[in-house]
A and B are shown apart, each in its own frame.
Chain A
Amino acid sequence: MFLARRELRFAWGRFALMGSVIALVAVLTVMLSGLATGLVDDGISGLRALPVTHLAFQAHTDSTFSRSTIDVATIEQLNATKGVRAEPLGLSLFNARSSTNVTVDLALFGLQPGGFVATDLLHGSLPDAASNGVIITQGLADSGVHIGDRLSFDRSNTVLTVTGIAPKSTYGHVDLAYTTLAVWQVATYNSLDATAAAKLVSSAAIVADGGVNTGALAKTADLDIVTKTSAFNGSPGYSAETSTMTLIRGFLYVIAAMILGAFFTVWTIQRRAEIGLQKALGASTRAVLLDSLGQVLVVLVGATAVGAAIGLALGALISGGTVPFSLQSGPVTAASVTLIVSGVVGMLVGIRRITSVDPIIALGGTR
């Protein structure tokens, strides 16, 4: 690094220009990471927060709550299996209007009273089992729905009174609300009488021990049993959004690799005579390569760190607004590391020419 450090100082303008391009790519990477995480949160944060290992759906419904209907009796069958705890879990999307005339979209969870799936409360109280109460999440409260308001659900003639507010949580980009399973069944299966509706639910929440063969269990019960993570794919738009964001980020990494490859190709060509001189003086190709690699890593890591810091600062300004944006250390670190790795790949393409430089060019008039 003796020469590399001095070249960084000597040609600082050139490296600063390159570094600023990398930093800009890093800003974009962090922002995209924040958007991707925000979109994912907006799509499945409600599911992710569930204290379950698996979810059971009607067979062949692609883990989609809106398509799945299962018999509550089947859940009893799951519960009878050793190492498995299961309970009914309802989830439907509604449009609702509050008594103060606020219209909201919401995803209504139907929870079994006293079950292992429950929600925390920020304000108010849980609805009692016999009343038509509902707990809204903070997002709905921010839309203007308050404790004590009555929410009229479309297509079901169900009217529920808001009894409490839970932390912000979403499913399919709409805010969640929680009610008792019985109320949810009436609201969802409104064309059936209460007795028939009480036998149906959209899914089962499962906590299974590690040794449980969920595949065999699913076959026996004629259900689809998927892990909680796999169930994310059933969230509206989740697969399309994540694959789109992954594609955009992939292109960004490829672009970063190409920019660095182009820069270091030009840089190496410009330094050809100097590299020849270094080799003529006795520097091994390996030593010259390591020196260049170190130089690149300093620029790459430094610029990525600066870009990520700027991205985090910009992200902090955006977070909490209407744009689904969430910065978490894991995805930001992963994005930054991937950017560095793709940069190194591009740079390796650029500086591979070092291996082919003949030290003989250091002599003025060979031949």
Chain B
Amino acid sequence: MTALVLDDLCVYFGDGDEQIAALDHVSLAVAAGEFVAIVGASGSGKSSLLAVAGALRSPDSGTVMIGDVDITNATPSERAAVRRTQIGFVFQWSNLIDALTAIDQLIYMGRLAGMSSRDARAEAERLLDVVGLAQKANRRPGKLSGGERQRVGIARALITKPAVLLIDEPTSALDHSRALDVVTLLRDLTHERRIATVMVTHDLSVVELADRVVKMGDGRLGEDADFTRVDD
């Protein structure tokens, strides 16, 4: 079953009198339980792809479907609701909230999605255990290592049981060993929970863990999307 469909997407940015295509007729379908890595250099359009797939912005043309729902022309508040309930984000640098402990990061997300306080706490405890941080649930981000922060970010993204997981450069702050740990965890969770996962990265050392690797450059995806290894 296809959980995420991006069809013929175009996104343009103005640059003086010129228009630059951040996404140039991009199409991608990701099935539930599939872990897709998108690799490319800075400025290749990876983040724009995530922004559109993650309902952070609308495309200038093309279609975005999450499950059976077309969110292409959703209003900002409709897009926010989709992000709360259908999409999980794992950000570069983990992007945790300084004031919240690890468990509160998850509870906050759960409550945003409409979970009761009790359910959110129970699920948060379970997920922190899954990512190996049950003992550090009451630590704030400043008291966690880079890898631990990223694991909290992963757990936060999963608390709402999203259909789609979008991951933005998850290993940029990690050494190779921790990067492999984090991406392995993401792959395993993707398979276990039948999530359609898209990870953008320029870290080629971790892409072999993906089910599919797609190369991106100048706003376009590789013509044949089935790579097992790519060269930057």
Contact = CB atoms under 8 A, between A and B. Distances in A.
Interface of A: 2-3, 6-7, 9-11, 274, 277-285, 287, 359-360, 362-367
B184 interface: no
Contacts of A366: 47-48, 51
Contact of B99 (A7, A280, A363, A364): A7
B122 interface: no
B227 interface: no
Given A11-B99, A360-B51, A280 B56 contact: yes
Contacts of A9: 99
Contacts of B104: 2, 6
B223 to A, nearest CB: 23
A282 B47 CA distance: 18
Contact of B112 (A7, A283, A285, A367): A283
Interface in B175-205: none
B84 A282 contact: yes
Given A10-B98, A365-B46, A367-B22, 8 more contacts: A10-B99, A10-B140, A280-B54, A359-B80, A363-B54, A364-B47, A365-B169, A366-B47
A284 B92 contact: no
A277 B56 contact: no
A279 B80 contact: yes
Contacts of A11: 99
B97 A280 contact: no
The 8 closest A-B pairs by CB, nearest first: A282-B84, A364-B92, A10-B99, A282-B83, A7-B99, A366-B47, A360-B56, A6-B99
Contacts of B98: 10, 274
A367 B81 contact: no
A282 B112 contact: yes
B79 to A, nearest CB: 9
B169 A364 contact: yes
Contacts, number: 89
A6 B46 CA distance: 34
Nearest to B99: A10
User: Considering residues A285, A360, A367, which has the most beta carbons from chain B within 10 angstroms of its beta carbon?
Assistant: A367
A65 B172 CA distance: 85
11 contacts: A274-B98, A277-B95, A277-B97, A280-B89, A281-B112, A282-B83, A282-B84, A282-B85, A284-B77, A365-B92, A367-B13
B8 to A, nearest CB: 20
Interface in B48-98: 48, 50-51, 54, 56-57, 76-77, 80-85, 87, 89, 91-93, 95, 97-98
Contacts of A280: 54, 56, 83, 89, 91
A359 B42 CA distance: 20
A277 B94 CA distance: 11
A362 B156 CA distance: 15
A167 B51 CA distance: 77
Contacts of B87: 282
A285 B81 CA distance: 12
A331 B171 CA distance: 61
Nearest to A366: B47
A27 to B, nearest CB: 30
Nearest to A279: B80
Contacts of B113: 282
Interface in B6-22: 13, 22
A363 to B, nearest CB: 5
B132 interface: no
A114 B83 CA distance: 82
B91 A364 contact: yes
Given A10-B99, A279-B80, A281-B84, A365 B47 contact: yes
B191 to A, nearest CB: 24
Nearest to A363: B47
B48 A367 contact: yes
